[in-house]
Structure 1
């Protein structure tokens, strides 16, 4: 009889833990601060995404999609453009396969590929922009930035993209 009760107790504890995990990772959220809490719980700084997050989803496979009202620009060490929807594979300490986020480097807009925090105590965030890996201070990403919509910057970026596409 005692064995039966301990198996039931183990089953109940497992179910509660599983449901708690699913409620954190398998649902939509309208609370813009909860995306920042999610990032913190995954070993990432909250400031990787702007304050103006409308909603987000996390699929069972860990794919994070973040929805904004529209494209916008934030400033860290350099300027960063967030598209209306940007996504990445979320795992502890990393956003891999980022889509919809570009960083300005030497007057060029380069897509951000990966964002990694190997050791939170190191104080460093590794940003992979394809041609280079940048190490930035974790303190730049502590607080979510404001994201503004400067039309001139988006116009220049679109013109640059069209110029590169015509060369292909």
Structure 2
């Protein structure tokens, strides 16, 4: 569908894709991984999937300047550009598609460490 394989972690358990374009992805549990910054996946990630884009994303946040911001949209306008656009509401980030070539490992241990360090659960911050 024009998106790189590495947008979702290796820990995907299952998914549903409806005729309306709704993609629901189920993970074993919430987890953390890193692209350019840390990314937090909830145990369920939803988005509307069309060619080259995931819009209305729910269940994915990215750390920016010590804040966890929800990812709203992920778009590849032109695959030849080598760039992917990530909309985190307050900003649009352009990243190299090469960061997303392979599905990343996503650690639940990091979620626990991060939660202990901040004194609260990441999932509660959403």
Structure 2 length as normaliser, TM-score? 0.91
Listed as ranges, the matches of 1:80-99 within 5 Å are 80-99=39-58
Could you say what the CA RMSD is over the residues aligned between the two structures, in angstroms?
A: 1.6
Deviations 1:56-86 (A, max 9, x none): 0001100000000100011101010000001
> Which of these residues, 114, 120, 123, is aligned with residue 153 of structure 1?
114
Q: 1:154 to 1:66 in 2, by over 3 A?
A: farther
Bigger share in helix: 1
Structure 1: which 5+ runs fail to align? Answer: 1-41, 163-168
Ranges in structure 2 where 5+ consecutive residues have no aligned partner: none
Which deviations, in whole Å up to 9, do the C-alpha atoms of 1:20-71 show, x marking residues without a partner?
xxxxxxxxxxxxxxxxxxxxxx000000000110000001100000000100
Alignment match, 2:10: 51
Runs of 4+ displaced beyond 4 Å: none
Going by fraction, where is strand more abundant, 1 or 2?
A: 2
Q: What's the TM-score once normalised by structure 1's chain length?
A: 0.69
CA distance, structure 1, for counterparts of residue 19 and residue 69 of structure 2: 29
Q: Does 2:20 align with 1:61?
A: yes
2:59 aligned with 1:100: yes
**CA–CA separation in structure 2 for the residues paired with 1:45 and 1:122:** 13
Deviates more, 1:130-139 or 1:153-162: 153-162
Aligned to 1:128: 87
Residues in 1 aligned to 2:106 and 2:45: alpha-carbon distance in whole angstroms:
14
Q: CA deviation at 1:161?
A: 2.6
Higher gyration radius (CA): 1
